[in-house]
Amino acid sequence: MKARNFSIILIIALFFSGCVVYSFYPLYTEKDLFPNDILTGNWIDDEGAEWNFEHAYFGKKVLENIDSTSYVLYLKDKDERESEFNIHIIKLGGHYFLDFYLEEFSDDDNLDLEDFHIILVHTFAKLTVTENQLQINWFDQDWLEDLIEENKIRIHHENNGDYILLTAKPKELQKFVEKYVNSEEAFKDGMEAILTRK
C-alpha cells in the first residue's frame, strides 16, 4: 500500500472512529440538492486541522463546469496528513445536514489486499452556520445502538457486533434524521467539529 493511501486510511480511522453513524447509502437524492456557497472557503478546527471546501466540477475544471450543489473537502490534519471527501448539503427539519463520502483512498492499478477489505460508507452530520463559524455534529453510534436494542426505532441496518451500518435508502434515512434532528441525546456523545474561517 502506498504511503499516501495509508495516511488517508489512518485519518479515516481517527476521524470516523466508531463515534458516528455509518450508512451504506447517501442521505440525499439528486433532487434534494441545491446551489449554495455555504461551505466555500478555508476553515480551521480547534485541533488545528485545515478544512478547505471547494465546489466540485462536472469533468474539466473550468468555470462553466462548476457543480454548485456539491463540494470537495480537502482535509489536512496538524501532522500534514491529507484526505479528500465528497460533501453534499441538504436541508431537513429546518436544519442543514452534510453527507460525507471519502473521495479516494487508493489507485485502481495498485490495489493491495488491504484495499479489498475497505468498504466506503457515508456519514452525515447536522450543520449549524454562523457568520464565521461552522458547527458540525454527527449522530452518536452508541445512541443509535441503544435505540435499536430497545426496539425504539425501526430502520434498515446490519449489526456485526462492532458497528451498525445503516442500509436504509435516502428517503428512509431522511425520515430518521427529521425525527431526531432536535434530540439532544442523538448528538450528545457524537463527534463534533467547530470550524472557524481562516
172 assigned to some structural domain: yes
117 assigned to some structural domain: yes
Domain tally for the chain?
A: 1
User: What is the extent of the structural domain holding 149?
Assistant: 3-29+88-197
126 assigned to some structural domain: yes
114 assigned to some structural domain: yes
The torsion angles phi and psi of 52, rounded to 5 degrees, stand at -115, 110
Neighbours of 70 (CB within 10 A): 19
- Which pLDDT tens digits describe the chain residue by residue (198 residues)? 333 333 344 445 444 555 789 999 999 999 999 999 999 999 999 889 999 999 999 999 899 999 999 999 999 888 887 889 999 999 999 999 999 998 765 455 565 666 666 778 999 999 999 989 999 999 999 999 999 999 999 999 999 888 889 999 999 999 999 999 999 999 998 889 999 999
Whether the CB-CB separation of 174 and 155 falls below 8 Å is answered with: no
155 assigned to some structural domain: yes
- pTM of the prediction? 0.86
187 assigned to some structural domain: yes
